């Protein structure tokens, strides 16, 4: 059987572009995916073609892959089927729109955009051009996430009434980031909310919203509190979401999503402090341990006394392969993928099947999540510069 090959173009050469691209080089058969292949055919850097070529070498792309010194050249490459947008969130709207206007399918890093208005415009453009567009919330495509959602939809923990979800990183921002760093720089849409809080919201939404029948998915109301860092970006944000639900489905559900730089749900790095996520039903709960973006451990605890722990390691080429991936200085064990290939596989499946959106988070859900974050920023007076909030395309950033 001939395999469907998805030909990737990588837009930007920073930290996550590196992790994602390395995962693309892992043979899908190592995760029992036997009908698709990924190929990196090009990368572009806004700094220079030489940087793009160095990047391709570093991530193990085929020697035929082309390095471009501008994003426009990448978009014009006829050999590219889909572009992975890996710039800071401030740039996602302009970069993704450039790709869509140029007729390319897009996988765009989280947070999808700076605000919901931009997300809507991208969704409209993808529809108009009949292109695939997906927010790269990789965690949604993990086998662990599928397992948790199955636990919920099977009714094992009863009707789900509440989810607590935290992604905080236990880092002193003054030591870790200078004020121009994208994590704290408002010019790059910095702050905990858009960068980390999106994962706390991911768990709240995939357990209280996505697992509901489609016709019953209703946008939540939100109350929130946000603490600002001296740059004006947020360093700690707490959100209380109420999801309206019919009595038959269990009545309203509550989601508590929290994020912060300075604290962590896992102070000793061994899970001793308990789970980062608790999904609570009227027959028990399913817990997920830190980190919310790349979790590997769950615990099911039922009213009837059942306790089941599960561990999910990421597949990959295995020990002795010399393959290493990770993010920044955090390296995974030899042979273990980072886990970004699951979302890449979803892009291939979608394009093979003619679907235009991701299966486990469609554009409508990405938009509702952006609306939630808009509301949190509005309630707490957190704004970004107009040039990164605008929907005007093109805008020079």
Ligand X SMILES: NC(=O)c1ccc[n+]([C@@H]2O[C@H](COP(=O)([O-])OP(=O)(O)OC[C@H]3O[C@@H](n4cnc5c(N)ncnc54)[C@H](OP(=O)(O)O)[C@@H]3O)[C@@H](O)[C@H]2O)c1
In the chain, what is the straight-line distance between the N-terminal and C-terminal CA atoms, in Å?
Answer: 46
User: Tokens at residue 384, please?
Assistant: 């970004």
List the one residue from 6, 8, 9, 12 that touches ligand X (CB under 6 A). Answer: 12
Rounded Cα distance between 245 and 254, Å, is 10
For the chain, helix, strand, coil in percent to 5 are 35, 25, 40
Measured CA to CA in angstroms, residue 294 lies from 27, 97, 319 at distances of: 20, 28, 20
Asked if residue 375 binds ligand X (CB under 6 A), the reply is no
Phi, psi of 345, deg, nearest 5? -60, -40
Asked if residue 45 binds ligand X (CB under 6 A), the reply is yes
Question: Which residues inside 319-338 make contact with ligand X, applying CB under 6 A?
Answer: 327
List the one residue from 81, 135, 166, 195 that touches ligand X (CB under 6 A). Answer: 195
Rounded Cα distance between 43 and 51, Å, is 9
Query: Cβ of residue 328: shortest distance to ligand X, in angstroms?
Result: 8
Q: Closest CB to ligand X among 153 and 180?
A: 180
User: Tokens at residue 85, please?
Assistant: 């947008």
User: Tokens at residue 275, please?
Assistant: 């789970």
Q: Closest CB to ligand X among 20 and 209?
A: 20
Query: Cβ of residue 170: shortest distance to ligand X, in angstroms?
Result: 16
Q: Closest CB to ligand X among 46 and 171?
A: 46
Q: Closest CB to ligand X among 132 and 142?
A: 142
The secondary structure of 208-240 as a DSSP string is HTTTS-GGG--PPEEEEEEEE-TTSSEEEEEEE
Q: Are 168 and 265 within 8 A, CB to CB?
A: yes
Tell how far CA 103 is from the center of its chain.
23
Query: Cβ of residue 255: shortest distance to ligand X, in angstroms?
Result: 21
Asked if residue 246 binds ligand X (CB under 6 A), the reply is no
Q: Closest CB to ligand X among 15 and 385?
A: 15
> 384 CB contacts (<8 Å, ≥6 apart)?
90, 114, 186, 187, 189
Asked if residue 66 binds ligand X (CB under 6 A), the reply is no
Query: Cβ of residue 1: shortest distance to ligand X, in angstroms?
Result: 31
From residue 273 to residue 312, what is the string marking binding to ligand X with x (rule CB under 6 A)?
Answer: --------------------x-------------------
From residue 67 to residue 96, what is the string marking binding to ligand X with x (rule CB under 6 A)?
Answer: -------------------xxxx-x-----
318: left (phi over 0), alpha (psi -120 to 50) or beta: left
Query: Cβ of residue 339: shortest distance to ligand X, in angstroms?
Result: 9
Asked if residue 377 binds ligand X (CB under 6 A), the reply is no
Asked if residue 138 binds ligand X (CB under 6 A), the reply is yes
Q: Closest CB to ligand X among 359 and 387?
A: 387
Residue of minimal Cβ distance to ligand X: 14
- Residues lying near ligand X in the complex (CB under 6 A) are found at 12-17, 45-47, 51, 86-89, 91, 109-110, 136, 138, 182, 188, 195, 293, 327
């Amino acid at each position: 059987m001939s395999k469907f090959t998805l030909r990737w173009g990588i837009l930007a050469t920073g930290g996550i572009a590196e992790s994602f691209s390395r995962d693309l080089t892992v043979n899908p058969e190592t995760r029992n995916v036997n009908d698709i292949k990924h190929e990196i055919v090009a990368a572009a850097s806004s700094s220079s073609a030489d940087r793009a070529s160095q990047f391709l070498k570093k991530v193990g792309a085929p020697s035929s892959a082309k390095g471009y010194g501008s994003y426009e050249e990448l978009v014009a490459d006829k050999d590219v089927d889909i572009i992975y947008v890996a710039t800071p969130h401030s740039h996602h709207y302009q970069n993704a729109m450039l790709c869509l206007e140029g007729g390319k399918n897009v996988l765009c890093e989280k947070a999808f955009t700076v605000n919901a208005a931009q997300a809507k415009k991208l969704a409209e453009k993808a529809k108009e051009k009949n292109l695939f567009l997906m927010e790269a919330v990789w965690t949604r495509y993990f086998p662990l996430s599928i397992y948790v959602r199955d636990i919920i939809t099977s009714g094992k923990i009863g009707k789900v009434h509440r989810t607590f979800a935290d992604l905080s990183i236990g880092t002193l921002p003054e030591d870790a980031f200078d004020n121009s760093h994208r994590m704290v720089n408002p010019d790059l849409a910095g702050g905990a909310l858009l960068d980390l809080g999106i994962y706390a919201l991911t768990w709240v939404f995939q357990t209280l919203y996505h697992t509901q029948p489609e016709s019953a998915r209703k946008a939540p109301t939100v109350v929130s509190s946000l603490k600002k860092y001296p740059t004006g970006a947020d360093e700690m944000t707490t959100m209380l979401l109420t999801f309206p639900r019919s009595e038959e489905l269990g009545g309203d559900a509550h989601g508590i999503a929290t994020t912060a730089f300075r604290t962590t749900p896992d102070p000793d790095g061994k899970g001793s402090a308990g789970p980062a996520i608790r999904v609570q039903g009227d027959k028990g709960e399913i817990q997920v341990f830190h980190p919310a973006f790349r979790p590997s451990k769950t615990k099911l605890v039922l009213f009837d006394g059942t306790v089941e722990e599960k561990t999910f390691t990421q597949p990959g080429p295995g020990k002795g392969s010399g393959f290493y991936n990770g993010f920044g200085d955090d390296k995974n064990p030899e042979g273990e993928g980072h886990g970004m290939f699951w979302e890449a596989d979803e892009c291939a499946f979608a394009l093979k099947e003619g679907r235009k959106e991701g299966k486990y988070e469609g554009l409508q859900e990405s938009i509702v999540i952006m609306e939630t974050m808009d509301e949190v920023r509005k309630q707490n007076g957190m704004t970004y510069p107009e040039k990164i909030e605008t929907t005007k395309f093109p805008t020079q950033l």
